[in-house]
């Protein structure tokens, strides 16, 4: 099984996104670097719009991820409600 990862610029918005990811992906681990936060998870990781919205306290469009995204790996599946990275087929 391989890891997938995603990295964001470190700022107020991504603080909420990361909190949401950690809540929804119990296997995820965080690597804090200067200016950047990287999250790894075995095989798959899902970002849920609803969770991000709860943490942020406002509406959130998953496409807003683009603004602070730095890098990622794995296959992407994106709907209005979920953004998933995985090595599954």
Q: Given the rule CB under 8 A, which residues bind another protein?
A: 2-3, 5, 7, 9, 33-36, 61, 63-64, 66-73, 75-76, 78-80, 87, 89
**DSSP string for residues in 32-43:** EETTEEEEEEES
Cβ(40)–Cβ(74) below 8 Å: no
Select 58 or 89, whichever has its Cβ closest to another protein. 89
Rounded to a whole number of angstroms, the minimum distance from the CB of residue 32 to another protein is 12
How far is the C-alpha of 20 from the C-alpha of 35, rounded, in Å?
19
Select 30 or 76, whichever has its Cβ closest to another protein. 76
**CA angle 52–57–58, rounded 5-degree value:** 85
Rounded to a whole number of angstroms, the minimum distance from the CB of residue 22 to another protein is 20
């Amino acid at each position: 099984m391989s890891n997938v990862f995603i990295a964001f610029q470190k700022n107020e918005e991504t603080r909420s996104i990361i909190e949401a990811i950690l809540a929804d992906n119990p296997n995820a681990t965080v690597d804090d670097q200067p200016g950047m936060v990287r999250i790894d998870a075995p095989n798959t990781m899902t970002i849920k719009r609803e969770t991000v919205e709860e943490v942020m306290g406002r509406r959130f469009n998953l496409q807003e991820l683009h603004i602070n995204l730095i890098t990622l790996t794995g296959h992407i599946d994106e709907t209005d409600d979920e953004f998933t990275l995985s090595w599954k087929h």
